Structures are given as structure tokens and as C-alpha cells.
Amino acid sequence: MAENTITKGTLVASIASATGQSQATVSSVLDSLFTTVSEAVAKDSKVSIPGWIAFESVETAARKGRNPQTKEEIEIPAGKRVKITAGSKLKAAVK
């Protein structure tokens, strides 16, 4: 992993330190957040935290692709993908 990668454990420890909550409590809240987001997106709901991030399910059309090893053309079926959009506050924090 990259030296500046924040893992779930590091994130939990940081939030626990900032809020005074136990790491177990913070970990449980994060797990619930991820479960709730994944269940909502699976049901075609959009989850939005205004200014920060949005998650939604999008339909993709069938298309042709190419196997990079054999260069053979393949058919990629239509399906669903998760679209994640950064909000204005997150974008501003990166600048």
C-alpha cells in the first residue's frame, strides 16, 4: 500500500480520538454506514451527503471490448455499476 493510504483501522482510530468514542463504537458506526449505503444503492436509491459525496447505481449498455491478452473482441453485457461523485466540499479540500 502507498505510504499515505488511510486504512479502515487508521480511520477508526482517528475518528475515535477526535470524538472520544471507543474504536469499537466507531467501527460499528462505519460498518452500519457502509451496509446502509450498499443496500440503498442495490435498491436503485441514490445516497447523498450534500457537499461531500454521492453514491448511485447506473445502468451500462452492452458494448464490445477486447481481451488484452489475446486481442480477441468480446461482448461485454449490459449491467449495473456504482457511480460515486465527489461533492463541492471534498473537491475544494483537494485543491
Q: Dump pLDDT digits (tens) for 61-72.
A: 999 999 999 999
CB 26 within 8 A of CB 12: yes
Q: What was the pLDDT predicted at 3?
A: 77
**What's the predicted TM-score (pTM) here?**
0.77
Find where cell 486481442 sits. Answer: 71
Q: Which CATH number fits domain 44-95: 4.10.520.10, 3.30.460.80, 1.20.120.640, 1.10.150.120?
A: 4.10.520.10
Q: What was the pLDDT predicted at 2?
A: 59
- Residues 32-59 have pLDDT tens digits of 999 999 999 999 999 999 999 999 999 9
Q: What are phi and psi of 45, to 5 degrees?
A: -95, 150
Cα–Cα distance, 21 to 34 (Å, whole number): 19
User: What are the residue boundaries of the structural domains of the chain, listed by start?
Assistant: 1-40, 44-95
Q: Which residues pair with 47 in a beta bridge?
A: 55
Q: Which residues pair with 55 in a beta bridge?
A: 47, 84
Q: Is 67 exposed, middle or buried (0-12, 13-18, 19+ CB in 10 A)?
A: exposed
